[in-house]
Structure 1
Amino acid sequence: MSHVAVTAFDTLLDGADPASGPFGAAVNAELDRREDFPAEACAALDSLGLPAHYVDARYGGRLRDMPELVGLQRAVARRDLTVAVAHGKTFLGAAPVWLAGRPDQAARLAGAVRGGAVVSWALTERDHGGDLLAGGLTARPVSGGWRLDGEKWLINNAGRSRYVCLLARTREGGGPRGFSVFLVDKDRLAPGAYRVLPKVRTHGIRGADISGIAFDGAVVGDDSLVGAEGTGLDTVLRTLQLTRVLCTALSLGALDHALDIAVPYARGRNLYGRDLATLPRVRRVLGEAAAALDVAGTVVDVAARAIHTLTPELALVSAVTKALVPNLVQDALDRITELLGVRGFLSEGFLDGSFAKLERDHRIVAVFDGSTAVTRNLAVDHFPSLARAWRTGRADRAALPATLAGPLPPFAPERLRLLSGGDTLVALLPEAAEAVRRAARQGLLSRETAGMAARLEAVTRAAHRSMESLDRTPREVPQRAFDLAARYELCFAGAAVLHRWTQGPRTPDADLRLRAGLALVLDRLGLPGGAHRSEAHDRLADGLLGPARHAPVLPAPRFREGVR
Structure 2
Amino acid sequence: MEGGPAYDPLGPARDLERRLGDPTDPTVAFSFARIRHLDEREEFPEAICDGLTSWGLHEYFVPAQYGGRLHSYEQLLHLVRLVARRDLTAAIGYGKTFLGAVSAWIAATPEQCAGLAAKILAGAPVSWALTERDHGSDLLASEVTATRLDQSYRLTGEKWLINNATRGRLLSVLARTDAAGGARGFGVLLVDKNDLPPGTLTCLPKVQTLGIRGADISGIAFTDAVVPDAAHLGPPGSGIEIVLKGLQLTRTMCASLALGASEHALRIAMDWAAARQLYGRTLADLPMAWRLLLDAYTDQLTAEAAAIVGSRLIHWNPEELSVASAAVKYALPVRSENTIAALGRLLGARSILSGGDFQKVARDARIVSLFDGNTLVNLHAIVAQFPNLVRGYRRGRAYTDVTPAADVSRAVPPFERDRLKLFSRYGLGVVAALPDTAAVLAGLAETAPVLKRAAELAHTLAARTEQLHASIAALPPARGGAPVVHLQRAKEFTECYLGAAAIALWLANHARATTMDTGPLWEGGHWLTAVLRRVLTALGEPAPAEPDTDEILWTHLAAQASSGRMFSLFDCQLAEGVRGA
**TM-score band, normalised by shorter chain:** over 0.9
CA distance in 1, matches of 2:304, 2:346: 23
Task: Give the counterpart letter for 2:158 in structure 1.
Answer: E
The answer to whether residue 429 in structure 2 is matched with residue 429 in structure 1 is no
Match of 1:357 among 360, 374, 377: 360
Matched, 1:414 2:418: yes
1:144-223 matches, within 5 Å, as 144-223=151-230
What secondary structure does 1:472 align onto?
coil
Tell me the equivalent position of 1:541: 554
Q: How far does residue 154 in structure 1 lie from its aligned partner after superposition?
A: 0.3
Counterpart residue number, 1:512: 526
How far has the Cα of 1:561 moved from its partner?
9.1
Whether contact under 8 Å (2:73, 2:312) holds in the other structure is yes
Q: Which residue in the other structure is 1:450 paired with? A: 455
Paired letter, 1:410: P
1:488 aligns with 2:500: no
Partner residue of 2:237?
A: 230
Q: Within 5 A, what are the aligned runs for 1:6-85?
A: 6-14=13-21, 18-85=25-92
Correspondent of 1:143 among 125, 150, 162: 150
SS at match of 1:456: helix
Residue of structure 2 equivalent to 1:383: 386
Per-residue deviation, residues 91-112 of structure 1 (Å, max 9, x unmatched): 1001111111122221111111
Offset at residue 54 of structure 1 (A): 0.7
The alpha carbon displacement at 1:476 in A equals 3.7
Distance 1:373 1:402, change over 3 A: closer
CA deviation after TM superposition for structure 1 residue 8, in Å: 1.0
DSSP-derived class of the 2:369 partner: coil
Structure 1 residue 60 displacement after superposition: 0.5
Aligned 8 A contact 1:305 1:404 in 2: no
Q: Is the 8 A contact 2:399 2:433 kept in 1?
A: no
State the SS of the aligned residue for 2:545: helix
Residue of structure 1 equivalent to 2:3: none
Partner residue, 2:340: 333
Amino acid at match of 1:73: V
Conserved in 2, the CA contact under 8 Å of 1:180 and 1:232?
yes
- 1:208-230 Cα deviation digits (max 9, x unpaired): 00011010110011111111221
Aligned letter for 1:512? H
Q: Which blocks of at least 5 consecutive residues in structure 1 are unaligned?
A: none
What TM-score does the superposition give when structure 2 sets the normalisation length?
0.92
- Is 1:465 the counterpart of 2:470? The answer is yes
**Which residue is equivalent to 1:343?**
350
Does the CA-based 8 Å contact 1:157-1:210 persist in structure 2?
A: yes
| 2:101–2:172 CA contact under 8 A, matched in 1 | yes
Contact 2:126 2:169 in 1 (8 A): yes
1:297 maps to what in 2? 304
Q: CA offset at residue 13 of structure 1?
A: 1.5
2:56 and 2:415 mapped to 1: Cα distance?
A: 22
Please say if residues 461 and 499 of structure 2, whose CA atoms lie closer than 8 Å, have aligned partners that are also in contact.
yes
TM-superposed deviation, 1:546 = 5.8
- 1:257-336 → structure 2 map (5 Å cutoff): 257-336=264-343
Post-superposition shift, 1:395? 6.4
Give the counterpart letter for 1:316 in structure 2.
V
CA contact (8 A) 2:399 2:437 kept: no
1:547 CA displacement: 11
Aligned with 1:477: secondary structure? Answer: coil
Larger deviation: 364-373 or 267-276?
Answer: 267-276
Task: State the Cα distance separating 1:378 from its structure 2 match.
Answer: 0.6
- Gapped regions of structure 2 (runs ≥ 5): 1-7, 515-519
For 1:385 and 1:128, locate their aligned partners in 2 and report how far apart those are by CA, in whole Å.
29
Query: For the residues of structure 2 that align with 1:66 and 1:451, how far apart are their CA atoms?
Result: 33
**Deviation at 1:324?**
0.6
Please say if residues 395 and 423 of structure 1, whose CA atoms lie closer than 8 Å, have aligned partners that are also in contact.
Answer: no
* Contact 2:398/2:436, CA 8 A, preserved across alignment: no
Partner SS state of residue 23, structure 1 = coil
Aligned 8 A contact 2:275 2:282 in 1: yes
Distance 1:192 1:536, change over 3 A: same
Q: Contact (CA 8 Å) 1:22, 1:28: kept in 2 or not?
A: no
Structure 1 stretch 452-461 or stretch 10-19: which is displaced more? Answer: 10-19
- 1:546 and 1:183 map into 2 onto residues whose CA distance is 48
Q: Give the TM-score taking structure 1 as reference length.
A: 0.95
Q: Are 1:526 and 2:533 counterparts?
A: no
| Mean CA deviation greater in 239-248 or 97-106 | 97-106
